[in-house]
Amino acid sequence: MVERNLDTTFMALADPTRRAMLVALSTGEKSIGELAAPHAMSFAGASKHVGVLVRAGLVRRRKIGRQQVCTLEATPLRDAEQWLRRWEGFWTDRLDALEAALKEKPQ
Amino acid sequence: MVERNLDTTFMALADPTRRAMLVALSTGEKSIGELAAPHAMSFAGASKHVGVLVRAGLVRRRKIGRQQVCTLEATPLRDAEQWLRRWEGFWTDRLDALEAALKEKPQ
């Protein structure tokens, strides 16, 4: 199930507007209008992006009066980060190998 | 430029076969046939996935005789991991807040 969620999480993250929306939500909940504002985007355009984030489980959307208010749901981001963290050792190993190779080089 | 690369990196990662191919390449270079084998996939199907990874800068592909050999290029994965790492503080803050709330609760 996590594997399937990774598909939708990474797909949702593959767009700069959606990534910016998540960053905006990290400081607190926002209306769709507030999320649209920095992108000179229509309400409908912003709402479509929010829909992708909602379906990926990254955002919760609820109605307060006439407004739709969005809240960040960070758990899928943590799963994605954990998947990517496995490569950390890979970079470190490569750097260690490079360092070792440089040390072996005659001065 | 990194922002644009994040689009293609996250898009490339939004597929379980491509993620599995990257994991397979983390232990060393592989031919397209070797990458296809665990997925009961045609050479053409595997080659298409490898193409997406190559265009995203995650894999380098070169010909050795009649074989195409693939190597992992991990740098874009590091950029993606760094983008996701910003949320680490967010989870910690939420856990701290939860812990504080639990402590305040009368025993």
| Structure tokens given for A52 | 């992708």
Phi, psi of A72 (to 5 degrees): -75, 140
- CB of A52 within 8 Å of a chain B CB? The answer is no
The Cα A13–Cα A76 span in angstroms is: 11
Contact B91 A80 (CB under 8 A): no
Residues of A in contact with B81 (CB under 8 A): 81, 84-85, 87-88
Greatest Cα pair distance, chain A, in angstroms, is 73
pLDDT band at residue A105 using 50, 70 and 90 as cut-offs: low
Contact B15 A7 (CB under 8 A): yes
Residue B13, min C-alpha distance to chain A (Å): 6
User: Bridge partners of A70?
Assistant: A30, A61
Mean pLDDT by 10 residues, chain B (107 residues): 80 97 94 92 94 96 92 92 84 69 70
Q: What is the ipTM of this complex?
A: 0.83
The length of chain B in residues reads 107
Q: Is the pLDDT of residue A2 over 60?
A: no
